[in-house]
Structure 1
Amino acid sequence: MSSQNLIIYKFTRLYQILDEIGADLNFNIEFEDRDDALNEKVKNFNNYLIISNKKYSDIPNQFVLDNLPINVFKLIEKINIEFLKLQFNSQSEVKINNYTIDLNSREMLKKNKKLKLTEKEINTITYLSKSGKPVSVGELQEKVWSYQSDIETHTVETHIYRLRKKILNTFDDNDFIISEKNGYQIK
């Protein structure tokens, strides 16, 4: 059973057409014509796309099909592209503590504050957050900077210092990346 769910909203004819060929599609098809039932339905799905024939401003993950007629194969292709876009966007956000890291825009967000980050800063934060334990300077040099650990450099310390300062200035958080005796850690 597919984990992709296509909800056809207030578009009976489209539902009838897709339901007929549903066995050949790589997504589940549902129909809904009531707002309250639609809200309940989407709570049960992680990966969903709502298709309708007009734009509803309060509906997320919506694909509006208003350019008819359309070849059914083109329609299925467009639906699959929309599912790919949703998947890409959902994979671009990483939650770390009270922060959201947007990998696409390279931003760190908390409430209504944003901090622009470099690619190395993003890589450092994601590596530290996945580790779950203090990470040594040598390990960061090797894994994030691709340096050999026996090279004498203060690149990691300098980057961490600047990153901590940026986070402190934007979010007033001095404890996001902490210094342990055996490395750096995000708790």
Structure 2
Amino acid sequence: MIIQNVFIINYNSLYEILDEIKENLSFKITKFENEEDFKKNFDIDIIDYLVISKTYHKLLPNNNVIDKNFLDLSNLPLSLKKLLELINIKLIKLRFNQQSKIIIKGYELNLNSKYFSKETLTLKLTEKEIQIILYLNNKKIKHDVADLQKYIWGYPIGMETHTVETHIYRLRKKISNLFKDEKFILSHKSGYFID
């Protein structure tokens, strides 16, 4: 599971409270002293994040922060329970929206509906097929059977099974039959990959 990020800017007291209970949180918190610190250290490749700042208006024009990534805490005071509820609801909405459309090699993968499409053609995928595509796409290296067995199926290394080969064969066949694409998932002597 991918951990979502909550960036706390110029809000030291809030950060200290959340830092005290961080082992119980479903998200990672990071503190920035001010807007300049955030601008300098923000990793632009992070797409799944929420910002909590007292200076919202200063962040919007100069960063990738948009309304959907910002939590407005102007209705203070809040109980800790209510604050965590607001953060979690906002993160769930962000995750849902993020998952609604992922582009991989010109195809659109919708994790919510489990559809894989290109132009007017649409293919329904299983949960394992989606996991395979995401894993191969996120790791820009070749993955051998043992690697996929461990990270997709949770099998111990060295377990004798043809599960990986069977699933990848079926997935490649489905993509080939509908989209006429023989090269979406490639194989090499060192493993499978999406280029």
TM-score, with structure 1 as normaliser: 0.57
Tell me which of 87, 103, 110 is aligned to 1:102. Answer: 110
In 2: Cα distance, 1:100 partner to 1:134 partner:
22
- C-alpha distance 26-108 of structure 1, shift in aligned 2 (>3 A): farther
SS in 2 for 1:144: helix
Q: CA RMSD in A?
A: 3.5
Identify unmatched segments of 5+ residues in structure 1: 3-24, 30-43, 50-72
| Correspondence for 1:134 | 142
Amino acid at match of 1:176: F
SS in 1 for 2:137: helix
| Correspondence for 2:181 | 173
In 2: Cα distance, 1:145 partner to 1:80 partner:
31
| Correspondence for 1:38 | none
Residues matched between the structures, number: 132
Per-residue deviation at 1:137? 0.4
Per-residue deviation at 1:82? 9.2
- C-alpha distance 48-159 of structure 1, shift in aligned 2 (>3 A): same
Tell me which of 115, 124, 141 is aligned to 2:123. Answer: 115
Tell me which of 157, 161, 164 is aligned to 1:149. Answer: 157
Amino acid at match of 2:183: D
- C-alpha distance 82-162 of structure 1, shift in aligned 2 (>3 A): same
2:97 corresponds to 1:90? yes
In 2: Cα distance, 1:116 partner to 1:47 partner:
32
- C-alpha distance 172-162 of structure 1, shift in aligned 2 (>3 A): same
Q: Deviations over 1:166-187 (max 9, x none)?
A: 0111111110001111100100
Q: Deviations over 1:36-66 (max 9, x none)?
A: xxxxxxxx977447xxxxxxxxxxxxxxxxx
Per-residue deviation at 1:101? 1.1
- C-alpha distance 165-80 of structure 1, shift in aligned 2 (>3 A): same
- Provide the identity percentage: 41
TM-score, with structure 2 as normaliser: 0.55
Larger deviation: 165-174 or 80-89?
80-89
- C-alpha distance 106-28 of structure 1, shift in aligned 2 (>3 A): same
In 2: Cα distance, 1:47 partner to 1:161 partner:
41
In 2: Cα distance, 1:115 partner to 1:83 partner:
30
In 2: Cα distance, 1:46 partner to 1:172 partner:
39
Amino acid at match of 1:154: H
SS in 2 for 1:138: helix
In 2: Cα distance, 1:182 partner to 1:91 partner:
32
- C-alpha distance 99-152 of structure 1, shift in aligned 2 (>3 A): same
